[in-house]
């Protein structure tokens, strides 16, 4: 039988009743002969409550103490989960991140796992125990607790699956798998049976919420197969794997969107070598991520317009940085925080002509204006008015026969 790392998200362990239900799922796998290690998130709402409490103390709460505070959520779940397994007569014990340890580096609130000492973990598995490990956290070389940022429990599960040579990693959540688009805005969305790492990474980066992009990237780099399943359904989920195990029956695998974008346009910028670097250097130095970029040069090659997108929360700071940048001279700065990005993703588009036309034509039929376009081998993204998101997703979904 298989060795599996099973991770439960916050909704799957939202209360003691659900923890007991998740523990019964593990018992079923044990009875089938599988070797299991469990990774858990904090109970639903706990992390947000801890963040709220930290802000009530200090809006600029110390980063080291912030991580120690947030890490407590997963620590509570892991001990309750181990207790639930013991109640079912399954040998189990919880391990805190510092007990293994799971070593991290990087800034607090957004660390990354660099090493997992697996001797204690493997010893526990060899004794027939089910080790339960809190996700989302590790310990620094200075022996301070650290957290891995949004979706960090998924990253923990993938790292542990790699380090103990698990056959695959199961991610249990409140949805039945990865869908062609968000069923909440398009009821015609369908569950995807198999999706490649590359496609899932693009969809996660572009706004799909089922998996966090960092965990998908880690799975792809280490060839850790992921199965996304629902804790509340017996249906098969979605398998995230390498592209050699996938037959591309459809040109497009899914339609993703994001609703937290903003657009900035610098009009009439002097066209000279180094101007783009001058624009984006202050943003880089302030940890502001830039996404779509378009540059239009005037016919006399003296002026250029530069348009780019950022996260909406960074708009005010970005505009201030540009206005205060003495190396940039432009005629006007425009910005818009009522925009959204819609993207199609599919490895099949590499060998099929006319994909861009079909996407743009479906939007044109709905009278949806495209502001910015960006492409890669397996994705095409467009920027549109945020009020037209639902209409755009439905039109594209239908145009590519995903309904």
**Is residue 106's pLDDT more than 80?**
yes
Instruction: Return the closest-CA partner of residue 55 out of 69, 41, 45, 43.
Output: 69
Backbone torsion region of residue 297, taken as left when φ is above 0, otherwise alpha when ψ lies between -120 and 50, otherwise beta? beta
- What is the structure's pLDDT at 302? 79
> What does the angle CA 238 – CA 239 – CA 244 come to, to the nearest 5 degrees?
140
**Average pLDDT value over all residues in the chain:** 92
In the chain, % of residues over pLDDT 70:
99
Span 87-107, mean pLDDT?
Answer: 96
pLDDT confidence of 326, banded at 50, 70, 90? confident
User: Tokens 């398009």, residue?
Assistant: 186
Question: What confidence tens digit (pLDDT) does each residue in 259-313 have?
Answer: 889 999 999 988 888 888 999 999 999 989 999 998 887 666 778 899 999 999 9
Q: Are 382 and 373 in contact (CB under 8 A)?
A: yes
Instruction: Return the closest-CA partner of residue 346 out of 219, 198, 208, 218.
Output: 198
Q: DSSP letter string over 149-188?
A: -TTHHHHHHHHHHHHTT-SEEEEEESSSS-BSS-TTT-TT
**Spatial separation of the C-alpha atoms in residues 110 and 234, rounded to whole Å:** 34
- What is the structure's pLDDT at 172? 96
- What is the structure's pLDDT at 299? 67
- pTM of the predicted model, to two decimals? 0.84
Helices 16-31 and 63-87, packing angle to 10 deg = 60
- What is the structure's pLDDT at 248? 67
- What is the structure's pLDDT at 295? 87
- What is the structure's pLDDT at 49? 96
Range from 8-22, 127-141, 178-192, 201-215 carrying the lowest mean pLDDT? 201-215
In three-state secondary structure terms, 13 is helix
Span 53-78, mean pLDDT?
Answer: 96
Question: What confidence tens digit (pLDDT) does each residue in 37-62 have?
Answer: 999 999 999 999 999 999 999 999 99
Domains along the chain with CATH numbers: 3-174 (3.40.1160.10), 255-399 (3.30.2130.10)
Per this entry, what is the length of the chain? 403
Span 9-31, mean pLDDT?
Answer: 97
In the chain, % of residues over pLDDT 90:
75
Question: What confidence tens digit (pLDDT) does each residue in 202-247 have?
Answer: 888 877 778 888 889 999 999 999 999 999 988 899 999 988 877 7
373-395 core/surface letters (b: 16 or more CB in 10 A; e: else): ebeeebbbbbbbebebbeebbbb
Backbone torsion region of residue 295, taken as left when φ is above 0, otherwise alpha when ψ lies between -120 and 50, otherwise beta? beta
Helices 213-222 and 152-163, packing angle to 10 deg = 10
pLDDT confidence of 184, banded at 50, 70, 90? confident
pLDDT confidence of 348, banded at 50, 70, 90? confident
Q: Are 71 and 97 in contact (CB under 8 A)?
A: yes
- What is the structure's pLDDT at 73? 97
Q: Are 349 and 294 in contact (CB under 8 A)?
A: no
**Is residue 249's pLDDT more than 80?**
no
Span 389-393, mean pLDDT?
Answer: 95
- What is the structure's pLDDT at 214? 84
- What is the structure's pLDDT at 87? 98
């Amino acid at each position: 039988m298989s060795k599996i790392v099973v991770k439960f998200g916050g909704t799957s362990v939202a209360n003691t009743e659900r923890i007991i239900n998740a523990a019964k799922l593990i018992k079923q796998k044990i009875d089938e002969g599988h070797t299991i290690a469990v990774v858990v998130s904090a109970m639903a709402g706990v992390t947000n409550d801890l963040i709220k409490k930290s802000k009530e103390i200090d809006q600029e709460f110390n980063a080291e103490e912030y991580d120690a505070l947030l890490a407590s959520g997963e620590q509570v779940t892991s001990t309750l989960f181990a207790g639930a397994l013991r109640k079912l007569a399954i040998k189990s014990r919880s391990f805190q991140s510092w007990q293994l340890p799971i070593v991290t580096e990087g800034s607090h609130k957004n660390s990354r796992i660099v090493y997992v000492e697996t001797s204690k973990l493997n010893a526990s598995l060899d004794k027939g125990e089910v080790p339960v490990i809190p996700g989302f956290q590790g310990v620094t070389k200075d022996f301070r607790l650290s957290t891995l940022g949004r979706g960090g429990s998924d990253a923990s599960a993938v790292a542990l699956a790699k380090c103990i040579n698990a056959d695959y990693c199961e991610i249990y959540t409140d949805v039945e798998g990865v869908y062609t688009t968000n069923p909440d805005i398009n009821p015609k969305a369908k569950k995807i049976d198999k999706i490649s790492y590359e496609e899932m990474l693009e969809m996660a980066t572009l706004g799909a919420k089922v998996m966090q992009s960092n965990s998908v990237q880690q799975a792809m780099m280490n060839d850790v197969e992921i199965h996304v399943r629902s804790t509340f359904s017996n249906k098969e989920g979605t398998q995230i794997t390498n592209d050699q195990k996938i037959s591309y029956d459809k040109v497009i695998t899914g339609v993703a969107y994001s609703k937290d974008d903003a657009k900035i346009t610098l009009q009439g910028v002097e066209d000279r070598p180094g101007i783009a670097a001058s624009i984006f250097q202050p943003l880089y130095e302030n940890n502001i991520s830039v996404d779509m970029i378009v540059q239009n040069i005037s016919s006399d090659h003296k002026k250029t317009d530069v348009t780019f997108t950022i996260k909406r929360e960074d708009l005010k700071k970005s505009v201030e940085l540009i206005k205060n940048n003495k190396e940039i001279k432009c005629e006007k700065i425009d910005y818009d925080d009522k925009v959204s990005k819609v993207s199609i993703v599919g490895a099949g588009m590499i060998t099929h002509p006319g994909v861009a036309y079909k996407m743009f034509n479906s939007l044109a039929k709905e009278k949806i204006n495209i502001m910015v376009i960006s492409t890669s081998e397996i994705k095409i993204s467009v920027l549109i008015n945020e009020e037209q998101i639902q209409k755009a997703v439905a039109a594209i979904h239908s145009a590519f026969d995903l309904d």
